[in-house]
Amino acid sequence: MTTNDVAHSGAAGGVNADDVVSFIMHHLGDSDHLRLPFSTIPLPNVVSRHALMLLLTSLLLLAIVLVARRQRSEVPTRLANFLELFVVFIRDRIAIATLGPEDGRRMTPFFCTLFCFILTANLIGLVPCFYTATANLGVTAALALVTLSFMIGAAICRHGVWGFFRNLAPPGVPWSIMIVIYPIEIASLFIRAFALTVRLFANELSGHMVLMFMVGLVVIFGYVALPAIILACLVFILEVFVAFLQAFIFTLFSAVFIGQTLQPEH
């Protein structure tokens, strides 16, 4: 009996490889209904599955902030003290480190929001029966578009439209060379946003795909593939770390890209 025969006969009672692949792709993709272990719940036409996860992420963050505000005092305690660790880290290690003291403090709320939103969306995707919105290319593109808007908008507000375009090229460069430099620099703005989009999307999608395929091996081959559960647990732990890492990288690169247009002299 070949591996393909085993996969299709399956020790899992009629479940074959095609069923498992179909379930995995359904879980990773967007849809207009939620698939639960014993039922399927249709969603309104205006709300997709990943949109629902983003709404859940926003409501969860709002609830955490409201609870933390109720615990606010001269000396932060419990949840407020825990959240302060993230705020101080992002302010000192990302915002101020890349934008300087003045701009860094001013931009800290944005970077804190960006980091917490991506982190929460990543972690929600690791909860059983939930979905990973950041494994959707449209979601990561929207987040990158926010960063791109700050890259261009903040620079224009500070330097003006002419100053923004003038700062794209180093001073003293001949006009003959600027004709080549300007298109490249303008394209590089969108390339940076594209890099942010693909990095977050690819890491979240690939990690969840590997995790679910390992679990799918047990569904297809039965107890023979039980050691794959151990690997799946290790991958799950790695995915928790990746959730933090990708939120940090996206926020850090956003700060660097914004700093490059906001403070071109550096």
Q: Is 33 helix (H, G, I), strand (E, B) or coil?
A: strand
Location of structure tokens 């272990």 = 37
Residue 214 CA, distance from chain mean position: 23
Amino acid code (one letter) for 29: G
Span 246-261, pLDDT tens digits: 999 999 999 999 998 8
What residues does each domain of the chain span? 19-262
Q: Distance between terminal CA atoms of the chain?
A: 66
**What's phi and psi for 14, nearest 5 deg?**
90, -5
Contact 175, 119 (CB under 8 A): no
pLDDT (tens, 9 = 90+) of the chain, 266 residues, equals 334 444 444 444 455 666 666 666 666 777 776 666 666 777 777 788 888 899 999 999 999 888 877 766 666 667 777 888 889 999 999 999 999 899 999 999 999 999 999 999 999 988 887 888 999 999 999 999 999 999 999 999 988 888 888 888 777 777 777 788 888 889 999 999 999 999 999 999 988 888 888 887 777 777 777 888 888 899 999 999 999 999 999 999 999 999 988 886 65
Q: What is the pLDDT of residue 208?
A: 84
User: Residue 179 — left, alpha, or beta (φ > 0 → left; ψ -120 to 50 → alpha)?
Assistant: alpha
